[in-house]
Amino acid sequence: MPGLFDRLDKEIKDRQKEGGISPLDLAALPPALRRIMRVMLRELSASYPRLCDAVDSMPEKDRLSRPELDSALSDLTEQFWLIRIGEKEKAIYKVNLRRKEGSKLAAGIWSALENKLKGRS
C-alpha cells in the first residue's frame, strides 16, 4: 500500500514531465516573476514562509506585496516554472527544470542503415 511520501513523489515526477524551464527562458519573464525565479533557482525548493522572508529582504524597489507574491507564484505554477505541493501557508514550491531531450540522431542512423540493408537483399 503506497504511503503519503510515495504519492507525493509520484505527483512531483508527473508534474515535472509536464513542462519546465531552461535558464534561457528567464530573460522572457516579466521583472517580478524573474525576481521570484532567481530566488527559487538559488533555493531549488522553498516553503511559502521562506519565500515571504526572501521577498521581504529584497531592496524596497524590488519588493512585492503579499497579493503580488501570491499572484506571481500562481502564474509561475500555472506556466510550469514552479511545482507547488500543498496549499496556502503550508505550500512548498520547487523549481521545475526542463529535462534535456536525448539525441534522436542514433535512431535515425539505425533506421537508415536498416533500410539500406533491406534494399540490398
- Quote the pLDDT of residue 81: 87
Residues in the chain: 121
Helix-helix angle 48-56:66-78, to 10 degrees = 120
Give the span between the Cα atoms of 28 and 63, in whole angstroms.
20
Tens-digit pLDDT profile for residues 24-72: 678 888 888 989 998 998 888 999 999 999 999 999 998 999 999 999 9
On whether the CB atoms of residues 13 and 5 are closer than 8 A, the answer is no
Give the span between the Cα atoms of 94 and 88, in whole angstroms.
15
Q: 3-class DSSP state for residue 63?
A: coil
For residue 102, name the pLDDT band (cuts at 50, 70, 90): very low
For 103, what's the count of Cα atoms within 13 Å in the CB-facing half-sphere? Answer: 5
What domains sit in the chain, N to C, each tagged with a CATH number?
4-120 (1.10.10.10)
